Amino acid sequence: MLQKRGVQTPNRCCLCKSEEETLNHLLLTCNFTRQLWEVLLVVHPDARHALPCWNTVLEVLQNWPVWNGRSLAAEIWDVLPYAVMWTVWKSRNAIIFDNVNVSAGMIIQHIKASVWQWLNMSSRAMELREKVQFSDLVHGWRYVMVDQQ
């Protein structure tokens, strides 16, 4: 209806502005979103390697590798795919409905903020979290995920 009147409807992906927006595109295969995944998955070479083979959100969740060990990194790793998808979805809505500009760097920060908050849901994660600062997560992703082990 709106399309017939020439009003632009949000069926074009607002992140890459070129492909049609489907849920799997927006949350995973979009060139813009793919960059976010690549940056975050750098701490897990197997996942980083598997990323281009995952074409749907379901495939990501079904094939998300287990993190070895029971460290803070494992707690972060468990919530990471949900934090990415949740944050990309919220960013998409902010772009479309509030006309906000977002950069990949900003979205990554928001993903890390969601991860940080969600660690509150587990007392074990809260305990492990005491060893690091939120700024470590923001500026030292590799430090928290790999070097801290």
Name the residues that contact Zn ion, by CB under 5 A: 13, 15-16, 19, 30
Min CB(64)–Zn ion separation in Å: 22
Q: Return the number of the residue (16 or 57) whose C-beta is nearest Zn ion.
A: 16
Q: Return the number of the residue (28 or 119) whose C-beta is nearest Zn ion.
A: 28
Min CB(125)–Zn ion separation in Å: 32
Q: How far is it, in rounded angstroms, from Cα 52 to Cα 34?
A: 9
Number of Cα atoms under 13 Å in the Cβ half of residue 149: 13
Q: Return the number of the residue (74 or 95) whose C-beta is nearest Zn ion.
A: 95
Q: Return the number of the residue (111 or 125) whose C-beta is nearest Zn ion.
A: 111
Q: Which of 62, 74, 78, 67 is nearest to 28 (CA)?
A: 62
Min CB(4)–Zn ion separation in Å: 24
Measured N-to-C along each axis, helices 72-98 and 104-118 cross at an angle, to the nearest 10 degrees, of 130
- 38's tokens: 């690549």
Contact between residue 75 and residue 128 where contact means Cβ atoms under 8 Å apart: yes
- 101's tokens: 């500009």
Min CB(87)–Zn ion separation in Å: 15
Contact between residue 21 and residue 13 where contact means Cβ atoms under 8 Å apart: yes
